[in-house]
Structure 1
Amino acid sequence: MTRRRRMFDIDVPAEEVISPQSEVDASNRRGPMATAVRENAEALRARQAVEDRIRVENDALAHEHVRLKKAGLILDMIPTQLIDSTKLVRDRSSAPDESLDELKASIMAIGLSNPIRVEKKADGRYELIQGSRRLRAFAELEAENGDGRFSHIPAGYVAAGDALATSYRRMVDENLVRKDISFAEMAALARAYVADEGTDCEDIDKAVATLFRSAGYQKRSYIRAFVELLDMLGEALAHPEAIGRNLGLELRRRLDGNPAAVARVKSLLTGAPGRTADQETALLRGFIDAVEPARPRAPVSKSGRRAKTSLRIASARGEFRCLAANGRLDLRGPSDFADVDPRRLEAAVSELIAALGLDRPDDG
């Protein structure tokens, strides 16, 4: 009987379960090259994050710089030799300025408290927008001292590319708040604005309205009156800035529509070469006094009161009636005067008072 061979059983161990921690341990056992690659990637990501943050901060700073520059709040010390005054016709007369010495003394003592404003040009130079007297004071101080202290002037930047009318308004509005700028200087600026080829203004009324928008209607009417005065006398006036408001308005009224009177005033002025401002205004006052007729007294009634004067004036709207009496002037007509713009009404009444010569003290 054949004996069957016995087979041996082989015990195979159960499959080992690898825990997550074992996988982490395995990853930590990577080679040096893999570790270096991983660390380099992490460093690049950190560097990129820093660069992104810096870029955002720089963009914010750049936008803030542009905003401050447009607002004229960015200041710099600019060489006075690099500043031009050719873009704008200045609203200041070139006549000697006695108050400039006071400004220079103040700058010497405490420095310049109000920087000028300039516009940077493509050629690296600068165009003056505001501050002609301050720039002139620095130039004179540098010429007098020559030590370099006044070779640079504090300046704020205005945005390049501003419309010409905007640049004129910046200059004019700054000087409107000052009491020493004369009506003749403002009138001269309005005339120059019309003559400037860089503007699209061909009408003096539009020029006055554009440049002196911040001024009231009454003041603009005075400026227009001085424009007419400058048109009539022109270069015969050596010191137009010295002419006061009342003198200028009266002079314009006397000369308007009277070529012979204009010729007479010009003859008076040209006959006094080298005259001072006071001498010129004395000549103009003398002309007015010479042609001023004695104002006749209104007839007096038996009761001792002045008689009334009644006028009828025809117009396209109908008839207006004017009644003048002692201390009283009434105007009636087919219009509602309450609908008239108060500023226009005020200007018209002021011109009427000036035209009647009632704005001067009664010396009789």
Structure 2
Amino acid sequence: MKLIDVKPEDLSLSPDLVRSGSAKSFEDRLRASVDEIGIAEPLKVAATPEGSYLVIDGSLRLRAVLAIREKDPTRFPTIPAYLLDYDLRYEIRFQSDIYQDLLPSQIATLVEHLHKSENVRKIDIARYIGISPATLRNYTGLGRLMERGGLPARVVELMDVGVFPSSNPYAWLRLTDAGIERVLRERFAKDADPEAWVGEMIDAARLGGNERYPLKYIEMVTAALPAEYYHSGEDVRAIKRDLGLRRAAGQRTHLAFQQARSHLSQVSKESSEPVLVTAAHAFDNYLARLL
């Protein structure tokens, strides 16, 4: 996939590629997020025969941008997007729908079934549903929480309804069942019964409640317990291995980007070809945004 910057006016929508609908509260939260931090996940687009770009995935993000530009036309002169094959637009849309329409617990169950029962490699599963290997590892973590049952599985239910973020299940996995019980009781349920609190939060969320806990808070409260509330031995080694893979991947990518920028800087200074210098500058700016 090639990452490009596209002018909003060059983007078009097709009714058969747009999702049928979404809750207004979700669109409001998405618009607020885009307004504050920009487009975190680029759109997926395809070049049309007419010369414009068809949005395959990202219609809600585009609507958020257009709403912001109505108030301030100077915002978002371009939008980042992955350029994909026009002939594969329906296949890509289908893959995105599979990922977006399933709950975190359902994706975790699907991943484990495909891997264990159908012998599909996890890296291939990630490619099929259009997510990164790191994100797929998160679903493996969710699967482990569900296998433990009890309050660990109830934590995943809270992720399904959006009360807890599902982006770092290892924050919970490192805890024993007693550790999870203590965190829920002291940090969330205000010393009430954790099981009852979980049920109340799930019911409220399904009725439109907007109680949400940010990832940084989850990581903070799950990291502040006495040692006896954390797993030891093979369990913790497995969790650390997963976390280490994620960190190592990020460090390798960061180092590779730095090396690439160094080479691009050398090209910009030493090349006598204007086109090559311009391309090096553009690519360097792109890498700078990713670091």
**Same fold (TM > 0.5):** no
Q: TM-score, normalised by structure 2?
A: 0.33
Higher relative contact order (CA 8 A, sep 6+): 2
Q: TM-score, normalised by structure 1?
A: 0.27
Whose helix fraction is larger, Structure 1's or Structure 2's? 2
User: Larger radius of gyration, structure 1 or 2?
Assistant: 1
